[in-house]
A and B are shown apart, each in its own frame.
Chain A
Amino acid sequence: DGGITQSPKYLFRKEGQNVTLSCEQNLNHDAMYWYRQDPGQGLRLIYYSQIVNDFQKGDIAEGYSVSREKKESFPLTVTSAQKNPTAFYLCASSIGPGSYEQYFGPGTRLTVT
């Protein structure tokens, strides 16, 4: 089955620790995205990657970092510099240039205490 996987579904960390959220897709999509969702707010774009070895900051990139070494993988690191890291994180992908239909993963709920 083709799709996007995110693991784990729930993640707990202590304040001051970096944490990496995984996102893998087997859809052969070129573009991948990371979003953050907070209660009562729309999804906000953290980072996106249009192609392997390339990525751009989204609207709220501060305190986050990404890498895109493989087409199928786009891990997100939440660093200790992120002031309010507790949120629901969603990864998505799309075919590539000219395609705006995005396919979403199941999400990871990160709680930092």
Chain B
Amino acid sequence: KNEVEQSPQNLTAQEGEFITINCSYSVGISALHWLQQHPGGGIFSLFMPSSGKKKHGRLIATINIQEKHSSLHITASHPRDSAVYICAFLNAGGTSYGKLTFGQGTILTVHP
């Protein structure tokens, strides 16, 4: 079983729709990342939610440490949100600092 599972793998939406991407993990973590990968390949950090909910513009990230689950929401989606969204985490108690485990990514396509 993978340590991290993202769902859905592919997501297609119409402009304006509310988007939810889920990330579940099976180990204790000390940090979680949400990343965005653009079609050209560049990866950018979006959020590092530590607990509860964090909001940045139209993006909202929630994390439930007890349930080992995090979600990334996009409100009023736009075609420019089309990208691959990746969750990644740092194992709790890991000896190699900064060593992240990555989900396989969710491919989001937003149509006008």
Contacts and interface: CB of A to CB of B under 8 A. Distances in A.
A59 to B, nearest CB: 9
Nearest to A56: B96
Contact of A48 (B41, B44, B98, B105): B98
A104 B99 contact: no
Of the candidates B40, B48, B99, B105, the one having the most CB atoms from chain A within 10 angstroms of its own CB is B99
Contact of B45 (A43, A56, A101): A101
B41 to A, nearest CB: 4
B99 A45 contact: yes
Interface of A: 31, 33, 35, 40-45, 48, 50, 56, 58, 88, 90, 92, 94, 97-107, 109
B45 A100 contact: no
A42 B98 contact: no
A100 B33 contact: yes
A58 B30 CA distance: 19
Interface in B95-112: 96-105
A18 B48 CA distance: 37
A99 B90 CA distance: 10
Nearest to B97: A97
A100 B96 contact: no
A78 to B, nearest CB: 17
Contacts of A109: 41
